[in-house]
Chains A and B, each alone.
Chain A
Amino acid sequence: MTSTDPSAAEAVVFWVCAFLSVVGGIGLILSRRAVHSALWVALTMISLAVLYIANAAPFLGMVQIIVYTGAVMMLFLFVLMVVGVDSSDSLVETLRGQRVAGILLAVGFGLLLAIGLGSALNGVPVVGLDGANGEYGGNVEGLARLLFSEYVLAFEIVAGLLVVAALGALVLAHRERWQPRRTQREISQERTRGGIHPAPLPPPGVYARHNAVDTPALLPDGSVADISVPGPLRARGDLRPVDTAAVAETAALTSGEATYGPAKRPVADDPGTSPGEPS
């Protein structure tokens, strides 16, 4: 292996990660689903973490991964789940012209900051982190010394902030039980005495022609057992009609009017399995 130029390697890392982080940012804006946007953000954040580590700031890189990709992204996704993954916002403006004004102000603010910072930082010499990192044997060690000496008060009061956050979460989101907890005995008694079907429900009528959960089972008298089909399917009327010919055939076999043998009737085409029909 020939020795490679470190700045060349750094340039490769930069361009790969910079490209990925911009792709993540664009993906965030262009995704139609909020969950996909959140995943794009995760990509951007991980790319940034790699950049931090490559730029001699391993602590910042780890924090980026632990806090942002871990905690913050998880909260984002959690909020999406609480609100409902498929819920969509109303895009009607409640204040007229608000969106235009907001975009103009945001662009103006961004330009102002970019130009101001650009001019202020132009020509500032680049010092790098080697001096700071080398002093105590590493980036993390140096940070530890700062954090636990000069900023030890800030460190301790962060604990207070976290206590308040946890307290607030419980106060707002925890529904305290005021009725006694139902025991297993009570639950089982309620089930058996409450007129609910106590045993497992009968399985649907299974014929290996299609996904048969929508095909009801037949009771011994040939009538249809509705409870053999899941409730939601029943509710939306997705019961598959019973093949009356097959039922009659079964009845004939049972009563001895017919005997087993080659099929005497043509096999009925199953309407649900015709090719190319999506439904």
Chain B
Amino acid sequence: MNPEVMTAPSIDYIALLPYIIVGAAGVIGVIVEAFVGRNGRRPIQLVLAFGSLIGAFGVLVVNRTTLGLQAEGAIAIDGPGILFMGLILLLAILVALLMSERQLDPAGDAFAPRASALPGSDDERELTTRGYFQTEIWPLFLFSVFGMMLFVTASNLLVLFIALEIMSLPLYLMAGMSRRRRLLSQEAALKYFILGAFSSAFLLFGIALLYGYSGSVEFSVIADALAAEPGQTALVVGGVALLSVGLLFKIGAVPFHAWVPDVYQGSPAPVTAFMAAAVKVTAFGALLRVMYVALGGVRWEWEPLLWIIAGLTMLFGSVVAIAQTDMKRMIAYSSIAQAGFILIGVSTATAEGLYASIFYLVAYGFTTIGIFAIIAMVRDAGGEMTRLDQWAGLGKRSPLVAVSFGIFMFALASFPLTSGFIAKFLVFESALAVDNLGLVIVGVIASVMAAFFYIRVVVIMFFREPVEGSPAAAVPSATTTLALAVSAAVTVILGVLPEPVINLIEQAGVFLR
């Protein structure tokens, strides 16, 4: 009468261990928030966060040879997937170092004592003087990293969508938790949330259309369906277009970039670093996997789309960044422009393009974290000083900080001997390999324009007299110093000795399906 009892799905828990570690640390973090007294929470959360991130990275390194589809084909642990997860974990460790900083702001860390207290209320003042801290940021942060790891390895559209939400929800929350300039921060969170929800809807719509076309949400089945019958193009074109909107939104590509400047400006600097570095890596990882694995069969549909978007993104970001007077907004537009350069690599649809994109993301991720570490340090009593003219004379007052910032600026402007130069070289090379000269020319033009505002920052720091009341960079604790030193070192080493990393990326092979 009754059908047979279902056989249990086969799950390799060892292969899934990195996810399990980070996810479990998040859940344990919530339990800690529930049961541990107010003063005991922070040390436990720090141990959980650093322990799980480093532990997951260690397991990933040990597991690096066990490749394959896991959990009934829901996620694909392959070479690029492991690279992306490793990069996300490394960047997350650096961001965690920035988040645990408590020396820069006299009142404590970069986050509001309680996000629920009204900005400027008596409640908020009382909580600040009592030394309350919002330790919930740690579990939120871990859940976000958990979502990112799933997002870059998701091998079906359902997991892709849920992972996107797990990654994004904590970001919406953390964007609104700045200790200083609370209203700006809350505005940023609201904008990010509403636009993010909107883009998720587009992604979901695209998933529905692709499911309608292929009858499955698995990447491999979609790829097979595209290979078997190239008909029914309305469903495919609609699905590809809407899916791309959702992913390109997270990347911050033009014309889905509107949230980037406001959100980068309003969020606390460590969270902005997280968004600019890790989220961009994650979104590109997922875009590459979706485009190369699931939609490789309709390459001719999305390649021109990506060419146009890459060109627009590079030019728009570079042109608008020139006019900015706020450091965070300028970096935001610069990150839009950088996304355009990475899109060149994605749009080639070749293994070289994949490697070039990954290398670019490595270089860009570390540089960005260094930049926001310094932005968090240049501050006065009211918070970060982000007006460009307030940075005048930083080279005289805090030479070491200014020199580091100069290195990052040169890297973003892709000067030789920095990681940015090699990255851009590889990306352009991959585009030339598929005879896409036009896009390379646009890229070079955009690079020249972008170099202008990066150099301008260096000029302001070193060759302009300081204005009244612009103090030197605050002295950070060891954690920020460590994060800054690592990102500066990576930026220089990748520029001088890129071969080991390039070899590592090329050994990773291509996506599994």
Q: Is there direct touching of A and B in the complex, by C-beta distance under 8 Å?
A: yes
Q: Is chain B's binding surface mostly helix, strand, loop or mixed? A: helix
Q: Is chain A's binding surface mostly helix, strand, loop or mixed? A: helix
Which residue of chain A lies nearest to B209 when distances are taken between CB atoms in the complex? A117
Given contact pairs A161-B166, A163-B26, A152 touches B72 in the complex (Cβ within 8 A): yes
Q: For residue A172, which residues in chain B have a CB less than 8 angstroms away from its CB?
A: 115-116, 173, 176
- Does B3 sit at the interface, judged by CB under 8 A? yes
**Chain B residues with a Cβ closer than 8 Å to the other chain, count:** 56
Among B6, B156, B163, contact of A157 (Cβ-Cβ < 8 Å): B163
CB–CB A168/B173 < 8 A: yes
Q: State which of A173-181, A229-237, A250-258 sits at the interface with chain B.
A: A173-181
Q: For residue B170, which residues in chain A have a CB less than 8 angstroms away from its CB?
A: 164, 168
Among B30, B127, B237, contact of A163 (Cβ-Cβ < 8 Å): B30
Q: For residue B423, which residues in chain A have a CB less than 8 angstroms away from its CB?
A: none
Q: For residue B159, which residues in chain A have a CB less than 8 angstroms away from its CB?
A: 153-154, 157
CB–CB B30/A167 < 8 A: yes
CB–CB B235/A120 < 8 A: yes
A-side interface size class: 35 or more
- Does B47 sit at the interface, judged by CB under 8 A? no
Min CB distance, A140 to chain B, in Å?
13
Q: How far is the CA of A178 from the CA of B235 in the complex (A)?
A: 56
- Does B134 sit at the interface, judged by CB under 8 A? yes
Q: For residue B33, which residues in chain A have a CB less than 8 angstroms away from its CB?
A: 167
Q: For residue A121, which residues in chain B have a CB less than 8 angstroms away from its CB?
A: 212, 235
CB–CB B234/A173 < 8 A: no
- Does A87 sit at the interface, judged by CB under 8 A? no
Min CB distance, A214 to chain B, in Å?
37
Q: For residue A150, which residues in chain B have a CB less than 8 angstroms away from its CB?
A: 9, 72-74
- Does B485 sit at the interface, judged by CB under 8 A? no
Q: For residue A157, which residues in chain B have a CB less than 8 angstroms away from its CB?
A: 23, 150, 159, 162-163, 166
Q: How far is the CA of A148 from the CA of B8 in the complex (A)?
A: 8
Q: State which of B136-144, B333-341, B487-495 sits at the interface with chain A.
A: B136-144
Q: How far is the CA of A176 from the CA of B177 in the complex (A)?
A: 16
Q: For residue A151, which residues in chain B have a CB less than 8 angstroms away from its CB?
A: 72, 74, 156, 158
Q: For residue A119, which residues in chain B have a CB less than 8 angstroms away from its CB?
A: 234
- Does A247 sit at the interface, judged by CB under 8 A? no
- Does B152 sit at the interface, judged by CB under 8 A? no
Among A136, A152, A174, A178, contact of B3 (Cβ-Cβ < 8 Å): A136
CB–CB A171/B237 < 8 A: no
CB–CB A163/B27 < 8 A: yes
CB–CB A153/B71 < 8 A: yes
- Does A81 sit at the interface, judged by CB under 8 A? no
Q: How far is the CA of A178 from the CA of B122 in the complex (A)?
A: 12
Given contact pairs A116-B234, A149-B9, A178 touches B126 in the complex (Cβ within 8 A): yes
Which residue of chain B lies nearest to A165 when distances are taken between CB atoms in the complex? B169
Which residue of chain A lies nearest to B177 when distances are taken between CB atoms in the complex? A171
Among A135, A136, A153, A165, contact of B74 (Cβ-Cβ < 8 Å): A153
- Does B408 sit at the interface, judged by CB under 8 A? no
10 interchain pairs, CB-CB under 8 A: A117-B209, A117-B235, A148-B9, A151-B72, A153-B71, A157-B159, A160-B23, A167-B139, A172-B176, A176-B132
Ranked nearest first, the 5 interchain pairs of A and B with the lowest CB-CB distance are A116-B234, A120-B234, A153-B74, A153-B71, A149-B9
